[in-house]
Structure 1
Amino acid sequence: MATESKDDTSRPVDLSSAARPNRIEQVPILLKDITESVNSLTKGTDEDRKDVLVKCRALVQAVQTPRETMVDHCWGQMGAIAAVGFGVDSGLWVLMAQNGDKTQKVVDLAMSLGVDARLLSRLMRHLGAMGLLVEVGEDEYRPTNYTRCLSLPQIGHGYLGLTACTGAGTLKFHEFSRKRGWVNPLDPKDTSLMYAYGTNKHIFNWVQDSGYGTHLNDYLGGYGVGRPLWMDPAVYPVKERLINDANPSPDAPFLVDIGGNVGHDLARFHSRYPDAPGKLILQDLPMMIRQIKDLDPAIVRMEYDFHNEQPIKGRVVPLSSFSLPQFHFNPILLIISIGARAYYIHSTLHNWSDDVCETILTRVKEAMKPGYSRLLINEFVVPQIGAHWETTGLDMLMLTLFSSEQRTNKAWYDLVERRVGLKIVKIWSSGKGVESVIECELA
């Protein structure tokens, strides 16, 4: 067992503090706030529910001792991630969901899965202790809504495609930072993930080559579950801002999703606005486009690297290619500019430094039609104070896996207006812990 070092007496914090609650004086206040919030929760909004969740988290942390918080992180949460990932990969959660809500025995589950019963017992015991499974008796459990949802690829596969093959980048970040002089990392070619795994591959190539590409895509497909989407009228008025006054031609580019993965966002948009005019165009790297298995044929698939010239851009077209008999002048001399109504970029710019983002956005700027095209950036706008934990949590992923960041309001204006020369028309807020819509036009 470790003992106290000789210089412990010179430290500003006594070791006994680690055995005292973190903020015991806050408990009565938090209990009162939680009680009042819960009483009105059934009639409240999702924002009210999020506030209750934050307060409940604060209550747990107030009652915990520093040692318990540390052990929760290092033992409890790490162990839970290991056990959950095992369950996803082995098919445990799918099997339990198929069995229904009845009590299920470890020995029966292990036999069906072909796994070691003793191993499964240890893993499920920990998940029961963490409150993620309902322990009924010795080696007997009932599923919870959480474990049932782990059978869904959009939820369960996040533990493999997002965490299992990238986690070392987070765990080794302190070491990566120390060896680089404790500076804020900005180089997309030098990330903590690359350092931890000894690779020069960007995260998406790394995940794909590690065999978890489909898992990551599944996770991204469920990214917005239970959260307002950018095209919801309460977030961004699509009809008023985009559909009205759009080019009615069925061949005109309407919405271009740049870096849109396998088309999750455009599929949702097409479902909600099936009569939107023109073409919906999905753009991403060939390795992403080729992974598409099920996408409405109305969505055009285009292989494209957003560092290069945008192919959907304003261009000159001879009027002779149109049928307009009412014009009586030389049709060969008349030209018409055609550009997309909107260029949409969702959760992509946060993967890159300002220098790279400047190039990406400049490509869009060059393609936009004056007075017609809009750029919609669907990203977090981090408040200076009071940021939601989902926002800061994703910022930590960007930091450790991409050497990039979630941007503040000030940072977005600096990037979009000062560096690129576009104008931010308005930032449409979606609520706490949800991406905003940053609407831009040519200045």
Structure 2
Amino acid sequence: MNPEEVIKELSNLASKDLNDANVKKEALKLSKRLTATLEDPLIRAIELAFAPLFPAAARIAVDLDLFTRINTHDGPITSAQLASASGGEELLIHRILRVLAAVGFVHEVSNDKWTGNASTKAIASGPITAAHRFVWDIQIASIVKAPKFLRENKHVCPTEPRDGFIQYAHQSKLNFFELLGTMPSLLKDFNNFMGHTLGERQYWIDWYPIPSRLIRGFDPATPMLVDIGGGRGHDLQAFHDKFPESWKLFLQDLPQALKGIKEGELDPSIKIMEHDFFTEQPVKGARAYFLHHIFHNWADMYCLVILKHLRTAMTPGYSKLLIHELILPDSNATVIHGILDMVMMNINGGMERSRAQWTKLLEEAGFQVVEFMVPEDEDADGIVEAMVMV
């Protein structure tokens, strides 16, 4: 598509409501496409090579708490004032903020005077600050070693949770979750980021048709829902809040995950059960087995072990498998899709999966995909519904 065609499509959106999420998304997509068509390809390629320096500047700014200081200051603030407040060198602060202003994360109102904007406020929030520490100190520190790792391993995707980019970079044989457990401050950042930012998206119980897909045809003599690897039970509690009937609900996870549940945090009707999903599933014949952000942590061979234990526990033609994860399109994935897949490659040798990849994996395990359900936000998690057929 040439620039004139993109400009025409953007002009057609001018008469529409830009407060509408879909219109805004389309306008943003077209504006990025227009930028790409107008930019000098050589300059764009060079900028890509230097792109890691932008998050490096942000990570330094996080250490000096510059975003918060700029965001909370009444009016413009100078590098000298920021140096006095943070303990950093004035020249260093000026050079860091110059980079961040160029990409829109702070605003330089005049020579060496800075103010915040919406992006400054966003990055100054606790969960996003935590994300910058976690991603830089764990993810980026590992991914920079990926080219060398892949050269030494015949350029094949890592699939072993104890022998991937992170282990290579940190000289460890611990898997990602075990390694993170040895880093208390980064574990706290990880939980802060995951627990708060992901919660802003639309909740699955609000768009997945539970009455028609689970309640209709449900046998009350069987468990309704088993949340496998459910952590502190937020998904299951939300389900119970919306459907407070006296159904059997099970929360399963490893002991170290369950011990964080505080008294009164979950409804007493939710049965808490220690369980490793790589072993036999003890709850048989439930209406639904729910797994949220589990499979993307693991390569196919490990997912097949999990699925084997679920298949033997399920009642053919009755029990449903609900996988709550990203469902990548088979082509033309978004930037977020591609980045998150790289993140999962870095973590435990896992991956985000497309429709075709989900279908292949589930059919190999003896399941049939009933439907792919994707919410309005294409970058949000969907539901893969599958069954063991009679």
Query: Does TM, scored on the shorter chain, surpass 0.5?
Result: yes
C-alpha distance in 2, partners of 1:94/1:257?
Answer: 38
**Structure 2: where are the runs of 5+ without partners?**
none
C-alpha distance in 1, partners of 2:141/2:382?
Answer: 30
Counterpart in the other structure of 2:371: 426
Q: TM-score, normalised by structure 1?
A: 0.77
- Partner SS, residue 37 of structure 2: helix
Quickly say closer, same or farther: Cα 1:403–1:247, change in 2 above 3 A: same
Quickly say closer, same or farther: Cα 1:428–1:89, change in 2 above 3 A: same
TM-superposed CA distance for 1:438, in Å, is 0.8
Counterpart in the other structure of 2:281: 310
Answering whether residue 323 of structure 2 is matched by residue 377 of structure 1, we say yes
Listed as ranges, the matches of 1:164-313 within 5 Å are 164-211=137-184, 212-224=186-198, 227-233=201-207, 236-244=208-216, 246=218, 253-266=223-236, 268-270=238-240, 273=242, 275-278=244-247, 280-291=249-260, 296-298=265-267, 301-311=272-282, 313=283
Aligned residues: 385
- Partner SS, residue 377 of structure 1: strand
Answering whether residue 16 of structure 2 is matched by residue 40 of structure 1, we say yes
AA aligned to 2:8 is K
Answering whether residue 35 of structure 2 is matched by residue 60 of structure 1, we say yes
Quickly say closer, same or farther: Cα 1:288–1:246, change in 2 above 3 A: same
TM-superposed CA distance for 1:109, in Å, is 3.5
Contact 1:306 1:360 in 2 (8 A): yes
- Partner SS, residue 394 of structure 1: helix
Answering whether residue 366 of structure 2 is matched by residue 392 of structure 1, we say no
AA aligned to 2:48 is H
Question: Which of 18, 28, 43 is residue 4 of structure 2 equivalent to?
Answer: 28
Answering whether residue 118 of structure 2 is matched by residue 148 of structure 1, we say no
Counterpart in the other structure of 1:410: 356
| Residue deviations 1:370-419 (CA, integer Å, cap 9, x gap) | 554321001222222222222122122223333332222222222112x2
Contact 2:330 2:356 in 1 (8 A): no
| Residue deviations 1:225-245 (CA, integer Å, cap 9, x gap) | 554332223xx1123323455
AA aligned to 2:177 is F
- Partner SS, residue 153 of structure 2: coil
RMSD value, Cα: 2.9
TM-superposed CA distance for 1:180, in Å, is 1.5
C-alpha distance in 1, partners of 2:14/2:147?
Answer: 39
Contact 1:289 1:303 in 2 (8 A): yes
AA aligned to 2:111 is E
**Structure 1: where are the runs of 5+ without partners?**
1-24, 315-338
Counterpart in the other structure of 1:85: 59
Contact 2:18 2:24 in 1 (8 A): no
| Residue deviations 1:160-183 (CA, integer Å, cap 9, x gap) | 223421213322222222211223
| Residue deviations 1:226-283 (CA, integer Å, cap 9, x gap) | 54332223xx11233234555668xx75433222344443455455x16254355443
TM-superposed CA distance for 1:360, in Å, is 0.8
Percent of aligned positions that are identical: 29
Counterpart in the other structure of 1:6: none
Quickly say closer, same or farther: Cα 1:167–1:341, change in 2 above 3 A: same
C-alpha distance in 1, partners of 2:136/2:240?
Answer: 31
C-alpha distance in 2, partners of 1:213/1:426?
Answer: 35
C-alpha distance in 2, partners of 1:283/1:106?
Answer: 51
- Partner SS, residue 232 of structure 1: helix
Q: TM-score, normalised by structure 2?
A: 0.86
